[in-house]
Amino acid sequence: MNDHTFIPPRLAEIAADFGAASREEKLELLLEFSDQLPPLPPELRDHRGMEQVHECMSPVFVIAQRDGDQIVYHIDVPPEAPTIRGFAAILREGMNGLTPAQALAVSSDFIQQMGLHQVLSPQRLNGIGALLVYMKRQALRLLEQEPAGTA
């Protein structure tokens, strides 16, 4: 998994679905995923402890928490930003349950495979790429917190 082409099975499946979709279908799929992003748990509603993704045009907040040896991501994106909200839901679905080491190894190649460059502006593409970077950085922090010999 140290190669830079690791794409978790669920992300690979989603990327394939998007890759096969027309431009219009890609936007519809993003909107469907947007509706699937769950609300934050009550203790995170004020964004305390969450990291803001400043590269996004909309206010996007993310936090990675440990559940045993797995990561649980919580992401908040306003409904007024359905494309980034949809992509956030995709990342959450595809990366929740990974170990920190697996999350760090996730390749951004799947974004290209999705063909989002056909429907999103370069600025939005930068924002979604930044969200993945923030999620990986948080996975690194969790990995660094592991006791020696457990990683």
Listing from the earlier edge strand, what are the strands of the sheet with 70-76? 51-52, 61-67, 70-76
Using the predicted structure, report yes or no on whether residue 91 has a pLDDT greater than 90. Answer: yes
Using the predicted structure, report yes or no on whether residue 1 has a pLDDT greater than 60. Answer: no
Domain 9-144: CATH architecture, name and number where available? Alpha-Beta Complex (3.90)
Instruction: Read off the tokens for 138.
Output: 């948080």
Q: Average model confidence (pLDDT) for the chain?
A: 93
- The band of 150, judged by pLDDT with boundaries at 50, 70 and 90, is low
> In this structure, what are the phi and psi dihedrals at residue 87, rounded to the nearest 5 degrees?
-65, -40
Question: Domain ranges in the chain?
Answer: 9-144
Q: Helices (DSSP H) in the chain: which residue ranges?
A: 9-20, 23-36, 82-95, 100-105, 109-114, 122-144
What is the per-residue pLDDT across 25-79, written as a single tens digit (0 to 9) for each?
999 999 999 999 999 999 999 999 999 999 999 999 999 999 999 999 999 999 9
